[in-house]
Chain A
Amino acid sequence: DVKVTQSSRYLVKRTGEKVFLECVQDMDHENMFWYRQDPGLGLRLIYFSYDVKMKEKGDIPEGYSVSREKKERFSLILESASTNQTSMYLCASSSPRGEAGGTYEQYFGPGTRLTVT
């Protein structure tokens, strides 16, 4: 089974703090994603990465950055946390088309509920 783990289930930070959210997958997937989930808004893509050291902005990258130094690890960084970044953060991975069984389905971690006070 694919496993995607996130470093924390719950996190409370203060406004202005630098916050690191870590995500690790064990299936050698090329693609990794960070989403935030808010009630009524569904999942919104923050950043994604299709290879080590490669990153692309999603729909709402402002206030966030990412790092992918190793294939299995994708980190989301809040440079200076603000209260409007209080949310559930979901990490996902997927395999690219062409690999056996690869049809773009994503595998999600359990989520990190971040509260910024």
Chain B
Amino acid sequence: AQSVTQPDIHITVSEGASLELRCNYSYGATPYLFWYVQSPGQGLQLLLKYFSGDTLVQGIKGFEAEFKRSQSSFNLRKPSVHWSDAAEYFCAVAPGSYIPTFGRGTSLIVHP
């Protein structure tokens, strides 16, 4: 069965600093990969997705993610963080079916 690991439970950055959230997955082939964001008290919103093609994927709100097959990783990045980016971020893997597996999430704290 597939699994998803988000090794960082909390990440703290200063506003304007760059951000990288890590995601590693375990699966025999290339799955569909997603990053979602959850603002406090809200549901999850899709930031970006990868299923084939260019391994650098652009998403909404200035986020991007890079798929690295050799490392089984799909890390999320943003060059300059805004205070409004403070939220919970979830990586998810769907291995060729429509039932995704979610990581446990990384909570992003942004200091002014």
Contacts and interface: CB of A to CB of B under 8 A. Distances in A.
Given A31-B98, A104-B98, A41 B43 contact: no
Q: Is the interface of A mostly helix, strand, loop or mixed?
A: strand
B49 A103 contact: yes
Interface in B33-53: 34, 36, 41-46, 49, 51
Interface residue range, chain A = 20 to 34
A96 interface: yes
A11 interface: no
Nearest to A56: B99
B100 A106 contact: yes
Instruction: Give the contact-size bracket for chain B.
Output: 20 to 34
B90 interface: yes
Interface stretch (A14-22, A63-71, A77-85, A108-116): A108-116
A31 to B, nearest CB: 5
Interface string B30-73: 00101010000111111001010000000000000000000000
Nearest to A30: B98
Contacts of B43: 4, 90, 92, 108-111
A45 interface: yes
A105 B34 contact: yes
Nearest to A96: B98
Interface string B5-18: 00001000000000
Interface of A: 4, 31, 40-43, 45, 48, 50, 90, 92, 94, 96-97, 103-111
